Amino acid sequence: MIQKTEIEMLRDQRLVYRAVKRAGDIVLSALGLALLSPLLLITAALIWLEDHGTVIFCQERNGLNGEPFRMYKFRTMVPNADALRSAMERYNELDGPAFKMKRDPRVTKIGAFLRKTSIDELPQLVNILRGEMSLVGPRPLPTYETAKCTAYQKQRLLVKPGLTCYWQISGRNDVSFDEWIEMDLEYIRNAGVATDIAILFKTARAVLTGRGAY
């Protein structure tokens, strides 16, 4: 009987993991959309009532192997936020190519609440169901921010991006960009069913405390 090499065994384990991960993504994202539909509808109504603008914000981000896709979020900023972005660059409070600002004047009143509670991210369940994202994986950056990353930093694109990750449960915007990258690479090295489940449970706690969210 031919014995499998260590590399073949690792490959098979990865194939099983990816299959289990995808199955879990489909079941949990579909279940989440069904159970959370009342919350999604109420949120959409509140966003529209505030300024009668669009409810869903779509932005091109980089997915697995850098492949671009349109990521969905509830809109948390004024309708012309993108046009105002260049004027806000000097106020960036995060090192590296990513932009974060604690008191961004473009954020609406309802948007501030949605960000604090992470409700704004729930439309990404659609991205997960479509296979563009996973429940757990490095957070996808906008394409214009990814373009500024180094080859080392772009290693985070070796796996499918996720709704939550180590960064999400470790302080989020209180973490430097270099630390964020190292967390993503650590996840890629240690990815597995047990790791994903642990991150999902810790995400629930992080959302409840709102640590690092703005």
Task: State how far Cα 116 lies from the chain centre.
Answer: 15
Alpha carbon separation from 146 to 18, 114, 152 (Å, rounded): 24, 25, 12
Q: Tell me which of 87 and 1 has the higher pLDDT.
A: 87
Q: Tell me which of 37 and 96 has the higher pLDDT.
A: 37
Sign of the torsion formed by the C-alpha atoms of 70, 132, 62 and 118: positive
Average pLDDT value for residue range 31-55: 96
pLDDT digits (tens, 9 = 90+) for 127-150: 999 999 999 999 999 999 999 999
Q: Tell me which of 213 and 74 has the higher pLDDT.
A: 74
Contact 165, 185 (CB under 8 A): no
State yes or no: pLDDT of 111 exceeds 80: yes
Please give the Cα distance from 199 to 115 (Å, whole number): 19
The CB-based long-range contact list for 193-197 (8 Å cut-off, 24+ gap) reads 193/17, 193/20, 193/21, 195/136, 196/21, 196/24, 196/135, 196/136
What is the structure's pLDDT at 1? 40
In sequence order, what are the residues at sequence separation of 6 or more whose Cβ sits closer than 8 angstroms to the Cβ of residue 194?
Answer: none
Contact 51, 35 (CB under 8 A): no
What is the structure's pLDDT at 79? 84
pLDDT digits (tens, 9 = 90+) for 174-192: 788 899 999 999 998 888 9
Contact 84, 142 (CB under 8 A): no
Please give the Cα distance from 188 to 144 (Å, whole number): 23
What does the DSSP assignment read for 143-164? Answer: HHHHTTS-TTGGGGGGS--EEE
**HEC readout, 13-64:** HHHHHHHHHHHHHHHHHHHHHHHCHHHHHHHHHHHHHHHCCCCEEEEEEECH
Chain-wide mean pLDDT for the chain?
87
Please give the Cα distance from 93 to 100 (Å, whole number): 6
Please give the Cα distance from 30 to 129 (Å, whole number): 7
pLDDT digits (tens, 9 = 90+) for 5-30: 554 555 556 888 999 999 999 999 99
Most confident of 85-94, 101-110, 117-126: 117-126
What is the structure's pLDDT at 168? 85
What is the structure's pLDDT at 2? 45
Please state the pTM of the whole predicted model.
Answer: 0.86
